[in-house]
Amino acid sequence: MIRPGPRLTILIGVLLTVLLAARTPASAQGENDWSFVLTPQLWASHVAKNGFAAPRGLGGIAIESAAYPEQTLYNQFLVKDSSPVDSINPQWGLQLAAQRGPWTFGASFQYVTFETRNEVLWNGAARDQLCTRGSALNPHTNCVSFGERVAQEFVNTTRLDMDFAATYFLPDLVAHRVDLSIGAGMKLIYATASREYGNLHAVAADIAALFPQLGTGLYKVCDQDDCSDQRFRDRVKTTSWLYGVTVPIRPTVRLTEDGRWLLALSVAPFIGAESRDDRGVVYRVDQNAYSTATVADDFRVRRLDGTTLAYGATADVTIRLALSDALSAYAGARVQYIKGHETYLAYGPLFGMSVRFGGK
């Protein structure tokens, strides 16, 4: 797990020290009594970019051999930006908070499954068309033109978000109008995806069956960097862990004198890492020179496995109505952006209801 660096740790410590020093007896809430808040939540998200499983510049359709003496197929297929199959993907969530005085210790969980679709185009620069001779049962020549769709990739993703944070409440940042909460926390995201091709062009079907002794499919898989163990699959899986630290900041505006209507803006910057396992799928091969012999001549394999820097933020804006001392409801919107190996972006309306137990 990634831990905050020395500068970030010092900054958080200074901020919390200032908040503690600013606390007055009048700001005590329930003194030493504990209270607990349970909040079921629904985020009707639109997943605009599925960065956990559908990278741009896919090289999974990656074949080079003497069967193609005039060109290499590496890097000549283009994946357009992924698009969601459904307009809305509901994310069900649950938050649990324990409060004592100005301190809140919280945990939240969010769960979603969704499908995205990618258009795979022929983007070869060597000539306008790519042609294959088909199979022994179908010896006819099949061709695909520049910019024409070769296949569609379907990506089914399951994702679980977990957040843990401790925040300090500073009332009356602006007298009788604005309160502030600030703290530090950790974020953990787990995603798993199944990826497969469909709606194949005849050329893609020919390529998928080109080397039956190595398996059939359009995904090239190599555990060794020289691809001496290359094989082809029609379906592959991906798992990804994202983890790091957050700094949740939440200013709240009291819209009415009695404090029943509240406008809240919540921002939680995130910095950490993504550790991804693509089971050896080859996305791209950067060659110093074109080869007509074997794939091991002169190339650099590009994968999305391993650990890389990740950063982003989650932001909410909500209007909350206190129905009673123990019950409140809210509605608003959320946007989440995270950049690791690839980009994840989702946004949409947000709804929830909070129930308080204990305290005074």
* Residue 252 near residue 267, CB atoms below 8 Å: no
What residue ranges do the domains of the chain occupy?
A: 6-319+330-358
Give the span between the Cα atoms of 24 and 13, in whole angstroms. 19
* Residue 249 near residue 268, CB atoms below 8 Å: yes
Higher pLDDT, 25 or 234: 234
Residue 299 pLDDT: 52
* Residue 319 near residue 263, CB atoms below 8 Å: yes
pLDDT tens digits, 292-324: 444 444 455 667 778 999 999 999 999 999 999
Residue 35 pLDDT > 80, yes or no? yes
Taking the CA atoms of 135, 140, 141 and 144 in sequence, report the sign of the dihedral they define: negative
Cα dist from 90 to 36, 51, 87, 110, whole Å: 26, 18, 10, 10
Cα dist from 331 to 204, 316, 350, 352, whole Å: 47, 10, 6, 7
pLDDT tens digits, 36-60: 999 999 999 999 888 775 555 444 4
Contacts 24+ apart (CB under 8 A), 208-211: 208/232, 208/234, 209/135, 210/63, 210/67, 210/132, 211/63, 211/65
Higher pLDDT, 277 or 143: 277
**Does the domain at residues 6-319+330-358 carry the CATH identifier 1.10.287?**
no
Tell me the CB-side half-sphere exposure of residue 47, using CA atoms within 13 A: 27
pLDDT tens digits, 127-167: 567 777 655 555 667 787 777 888 888 889 999 999 999 99
Amino acid at 242: L
Neighbours of 187 (CB within 10 A): 25
- Alpha helices (runs of H) in the chain, residue ranges in sequence order: 6-22, 202-208
pLDDT tens digits, 334-346: 999 999 988 899 9
Cα dist from 259 to 6, 36, 182, 282, whole Å: 39, 20, 20, 57
* Residue 141 near residue 202, CB atoms below 8 Å: no
Count of residues for the chain? Answer: 360
DSSP 81: P
Torsion of CA 171, 350, 183, 240, to 10 degrees: 180
Higher pLDDT, 118 or 10: 118
pLDDT tens digits, 245-258: 999 999 999 999 99
Cα dist from 164 to 78, 104, 161, 260, whole Å: 39, 11, 10, 27
* Residue 333 near residue 350, CB atoms below 8 Å: yes
